[in-house]
Amino acid sequence: MTICNKNLILVGGGGFALEIYSYIVDELNKEKSVNIHIKGVLDSSSVCELCQKHSDVEYLGDIDAYKAEDNDVFLIAVGNATGRRSIAAQLKEMRLPLHSYIHSSAHVSSNAELGQGVFIGPHCIVSAHAKISDNVALNVYCGVGHGAVIGPHSVMSPYSVINGDCALGEAVFLGSRVTLYPKIQIGAFTVIDAGCILREDIGEFSLVSQRVDQKVFDNRILRRKIFGKTSTLVEKSE
């Protein structure tokens, strides 16, 4: 836990905020000595997902109208890279401080470099001489290899891995279980779909997907065992 004696305000109340909130609360329940208060959430909607599912979370209004107090610190709880970028610019203009959160189960090398407003979730590994820029979010079980560089506002989804000396540009989004071979370069504002394995560089403003048509077959053998009758084999494509 990296924030003490502060009023923590989550910016964004969607699905990613639900995850971040649960990580922090779980740690607070384990570490009674940690002096941190989750003050509430800033969101464009008072019926945001976080407030709906956690009635104890106070809705503090939209960012534009919020009047910050001395001990307030802000953690961007948005899983969209370009969204994180926009919110960070707004907070900077309002001179509201970004603070980082690093889960206690994460391992961050002592010689790794971390920017401001970084979120590093449970069981992540940030290896030697890696550089994590401002407002980067690493969700659960992410791996950042030695010497890798992650540009500002980028997001790594659960179980994604970038190997040694890789580089992500500004506001790159990696879907779940994306893997980059060593020394791969990804240009700014690129989105990599879940499950991709990348062996070559990708330019900026790219959308990368390795999906193939999903095929669904009727399991007529199992159907016959259960219902005592045969059925025609059906193939569906999406």
What rounded mean pLDDT belongs to the chain? 90
Q: Is the pTM of this model over 0.75?
A: yes
- Rounded to whole angstroms, the Cα distance separating 177 from 101 reads 22
- Locate the domains of the chain by residue range: 6-99, 126-238
- Classify strands 6-11 and 101-102 as parallel, antiparallel or unpaired: unpaired
CB-based contacts of 10, cutoff 8 Å, min separation 6: 17, 20, 21, 38, 40, 41, 42, 50, 75, 77
Architecture of domain 126-238: 3 Solenoid (2.160)
Share of the chain above pLDDT 90, in %: 76
Residue carrying the six token digits 């009047």: 67
pLDDT, tens only, 129-160: 999 999 999 999 999 999 999 999 999 999 99
- Letter for the amino acid at 117? G
6-99 maps to which CATH number?
A: 3.40.50.20
